[in-house]
Amino acid sequence: MDSRPSPSPSPSPSPSPSSPSSSGVVVVFNPQQSRFQTSDGLAFLTYHIRPSSSGSSHGSLDLQHTYVPPSKRGLGLAGVLCKAAFDYAKEHNLRVIPTCSYVSDTFLPRNPEWKPLVGKSSRAAGL
């Protein structure tokens, strides 16, 4: 049975490492737990894929919650996770919904080149 989210961006069936980022951190795509995570799983960015409401365009990647263990904060790890998620959205033609405050208030202001991918936020939509 196909348990992938709809619309399916054809995720890998199990956690799969992507290329190391420029920081040397490997981000793993884990569709079973709907997260982008570090290889040890301790830092992660959870997502939810929302189908297009119009049915005529692509869906959205709702970035919901970022977590980095206290001992690893302030090193840019959350930014690396966000970059991987935005790369994924771009690759799969998904709009990004920046529900997580780290994404909306820190990552996007510091990385404005990703703003064109951003759709209406959950907060702006009053959800």
The residue whose two tokens read 């959350």 is 78
**Cα gap 55→50, rounded to integer Å:** 11
Which of 4, 73, 115, 120 touches ligand COA by CB under 6 A?
Answer: 73
Smallest gap from residue 75 Cβ to ligand COA (A):
5
Stretch that binds ligand COA, among 2-10, 48-56, 71-79, 90-98 (CB under 6 A): 71-79
How big is the CA angle at 55 (ends 53 and 56), to the nearest 5 degrees?
120
Active site annotation includes 100: yes
**Are the C-beta atoms of residues 62 and 48 closer than 8 Å to each other?**
yes
Nearest by Cα to 38 from 20, 22, 61: 20
Q: Which of 100, 108, 117, 118 is catalytic?
A: 100
- Closer to ligand COA by Cβ: residue 8 or 26: 26
- Using CB under 6 A as the criterion, which residues of the chain lie in contact with ligand COA when the complex forms? 65-68, 73-79, 100-102, 105-106
Residues forming the active site: 100
